[in-house]
Structure 1
Amino acid sequence: MKIIITGGSGFIGQHLLKALAPHNELWVMSRTPAKTQHRLANQGIEVRGFSLEQLADLDGFDAVINLAGEPIADKRWSEKQKRKICHSRWHITETLSHWVAQCQQPPHTVLSASAIGIYGNSLDTVDEHTELSIDNRDFAQQVCQTWEYLAAPMQQHTRLAIVRIGLVLGDGGMLKKMVPAFKLGLGGKLASGKQGMSWIHIDDLVGLFIHLLNDKACDGLYNGTAPQPVSNQQFTDALAHSVKRPALLPAPAPLLKLALGEMSQLLLEGQYVRPTRALESNFQFQYPSLEQALSQLLEAKCKGTLSRA
């Protein structure tokens, strides 16, 4: 297939490119196309780079995978950073929607990312059928709801699947930051520890995207999470057990709020999310339990593969 990918240089994007590269023609949107193309080539991934401004001149693609977005947890949420988080998702998604509508030969499939933050903070289990609350929306909800709203018009012209991505465990992102502290015995639950952590192994998330890409019956909303969400306390205990260290240093809510400001919502609030529609579509998870996922990833780290990302 001839596929456009936005956000291809990110943590998820690079893994997805590696999986797709052997059998597909990949075009990666980037602010620095030549540099991105060269860097990926050094990793053995052959792509064609292009900029957002060049999109209007392109046509004849089979699929689009839209992963673009400024990392939401890398920096404190100043007003400037909030604008960057929003613009990086909304502008590209809206531009893609206009482009799909104008294509003489629209792609037959568009996969567009969202996030489980759209469900807000809840101790109840939710899935794709859960009715969303529009009252008292926090920043993450606002970002995701507009993100999905801007993607929705594409379903008039193509098969559209929106993937609400959870906490991705792999050779980058959250786990890479947490493991060193836990190995030093500095880990602990966050606040009450009751908040949900709906996680997914990076291999399963990549597998889900490929499954949705290839299964023509799949459209609409899909949760990119493992079948077994856990509480923050359970996640803390499992990670501590995996690295054979105690987790005795809880982080109280006031301290997190003082250190991180509004961004502390990402740690103090959470969701218990089930991937009901992925399971209904017969997608098979390689790592359905947290213990399986952590075992594989930490074994990979011991072999030297986790630390290279």
Structure 2
Amino acid sequence: MKLLLTGGSGFIGRELLKHLTTHEIVLLTRNTKAAQQALNHTDMGNVTYINDLDSLQHLNDFDGVINLAGEPIADKRWTKKQKKIICDSRWRLTEKLVELIHASTNPPNVFISGSAVGFYGDQQQHPFDETLRVTENNGFPHQVCAKWEQIASRARSDMTRVCLLRTGVVMAPEGGALKKMLPPYKLGVGGPLGSGRQYMPWIHMLDMVRAIVYLLETPHALGEFNLCAPHPVTNKEFSQTLAKALKRPHLLFTPKWGMQLLMGESSVLLFDSIRAKPKKLTELGFRFSYSRIEPALNNLLQHHD
């Protein structure tokens, strides 16, 4: 397949490329040199780079589009300016891709576009799947994802199926949430956040990229998919399991007010309880390599000193 990939030099994109070596990839990146450096272990000579979409009038030559680009949502405080950057980096690029799909006489068969479980907002202890309808205004992550999905869905036609990736907390030691958590836990000062009762929808990086490839290669896959392991855990369970995997004590906890003070509004990313189940993915026949948190963390930390 010939694929157009955005966000290819990012946290998930770099790993995904290792699983797409048999495909021809055109990677959209703002900085070709930086992308090449980031991908030097991954690029098997099957990647060409473009700096903007303006050079393309249509996507007739592409079999699929995978859209993973977006400003990281958890890295900075949500000032008015940062919120705009977060939204624009997702919405504008997705709009442009949809325009190019519409301008194609022979459009790509599949458009896979990012989203997140933040779409659901705080659902407390209730387990749910993709059929859950979120109607009320459910905070900034919901607003970002709802509009992002709405834009991406416009690409859907008889010729193009659209898959939306409602991604959980992706676990890999070299980036994302786990990388940030490891230092305090290694020092023996890790622990649950607030009450620790909030559910955390997690997914092992291997399953994340395998699921994207699975959706790419499954012709009847369509619509929203929760990309998270079948067994979400509470923050307290996760914290205990991580401390155990690192053979460190698990005594302290971080008060909710402390994180709210530190992070402001973005602390909802830590305290919203999202007990999402990957019903559609498992019904399609996808099998998780890591469906439970303990084997997942043991695997991720075995090569990590």
For Structure 1 versus Structure 2, the TM-score category normalised by the shorter chain is over 0.9
Q: TM-score, normalised by structure 1?
A: 0.94
In structure 2, what is the Cα distance between the partners aligned to 1:45 and 1:262?
41
In structure 1, what is the Cα distance between the partners aligned to 2:292 and 2:208?
14
**RMSD of aligned alpha carbons:** 1.4
In structure 1, what is the Cα distance between the partners aligned to 2:161 and 2:24?
20
Over residues 160-212 of structure 1, what are the superposed CA-to-partner deviations in whole Å (9 max), with x where a residue is unaligned?
Answer: 11110000001311111111210111101111111110000000010000111
In structure 1, what is the Cα distance between the partners aligned to 2:59 and 2:140?
34
Cα distance change on mapping 1:200 and 1:39 into 2, 3 Å: closer
Q: Report the counterpart of residue 92 of structure 1 in structure 2.
A: 93
SS in 2 for 1:113: strand
SS in 1 for 2:90: helix
Q: TM-score, normalised by structure 2?
A: 0.95
Give the number of the structure whose residues are more often helix, by fraction: 1
- Asked if structure 2 preserves the Cα contact closer than 8 Å seen for 1:128 and 1:275, the reply is yes
- Asked if structure 1 preserves the Cα contact closer than 8 Å seen for 2:119 and 2:145, the reply is yes
Q: Report the counterpart of residue 54 of structure 1 in structure 2.
A: 55
Q: Report the counterpart of residue 20 of structure 2 in structure 1.
A: 20
Unaligned runs of 5+ in 2: none
Structure 1 stretch displaced more, 202-211 or 102-111 = 102-111
| In the alignment, structure 1 residue 193 sits paired with structure 2 residue 192 | no
Following TM superposition, by how much is the alpha carbon of 1:90 offset from its aligned partner in structure 2, in angstroms?
Answer: 0.4
Over residues 252-288 of structure 1, what are the superposed CA-to-partner deviations in whole Å (9 max), with x where a residue is unaligned?
Answer: 1111111110011111212000000000001010001
Cα distance change on mapping 1:38 and 1:173 into 2, 3 Å: closer
Following TM superposition, by how much is the alpha carbon of 1:301 offset from its aligned partner in structure 2, in angstroms?
Answer: 1.2
SS in 1 for 2:25: strand
How many residues in Structure 1 have an aligned counterpart in Structure 2? 300
1:129 is matched with which residue: 131, 143, 146? 131
SS in 2 for 1:20: coil
Q: Report the counterpart of residue 110 of structure 1 in structure 2.
A: 111
Following TM superposition, by how much is the alpha carbon of 1:137 offset from its aligned partner in structure 2, in angstroms?
Answer: 2.1
- Asked if structure 2 preserves the Cα contact closer than 8 Å seen for 1:190 and 1:250, the reply is yes
Following TM superposition, by how much is the alpha carbon of 1:41 offset from its aligned partner in structure 2, in angstroms?
Answer: 4.1
Cα distance change on mapping 1:211 and 1:190 into 2, 3 Å: same
Following TM superposition, by how much is the alpha carbon of 1:52 offset from its aligned partner in structure 2, in angstroms?
Answer: 2.7
- Asked if structure 2 preserves the Cα contact closer than 8 Å seen for 1:5 and 1:67, the reply is yes
SS in 1 for 2:302: helix
Unaligned runs of 5+ in 1: 303-309
Q: Report the counterpart of residue 161 of structure 1 in structure 2.
A: 163
Identity of aligned residues (%): 43
In structure 2, what is the Cα distance between the partners aligned to 1:226 and 1:55?
37
Q: Report the counterpart of residue 3 of structure 1 in structure 2.
A: 3
Following TM superposition, by how much is the alpha carbon of 1:34 offset from its aligned partner in structure 2, in angstroms?
Answer: 4.9
Cα distance change on mapping 1:45 and 1:174 into 2, 3 Å: farther
- Asked if structure 2 preserves the Cα contact closer than 8 Å seen for 1:34 and 1:49, the reply is no
SS in 2 for 1:56: coil
In structure 2, what is the Cα distance between the partners aligned to 1:58 and 1:18?
24
- Asked if structure 2 preserves the Cα contact closer than 8 Å seen for 1:190 and 1:252, the reply is yes
Over residues 72-91 of structure 1, what are the superposed CA-to-partner deviations in whole Å (9 max), with x where a residue is unaligned?
Answer: 00111111111110000000
Structure 1 stretch displaced more, 215-224 or 200-209 = 215-224
| In the alignment, structure 1 residue 183 sits paired with structure 2 residue 182 | no
- Asked if structure 1 preserves the Cα contact closer than 8 Å seen for 2:189 and 2:250, the reply is yes
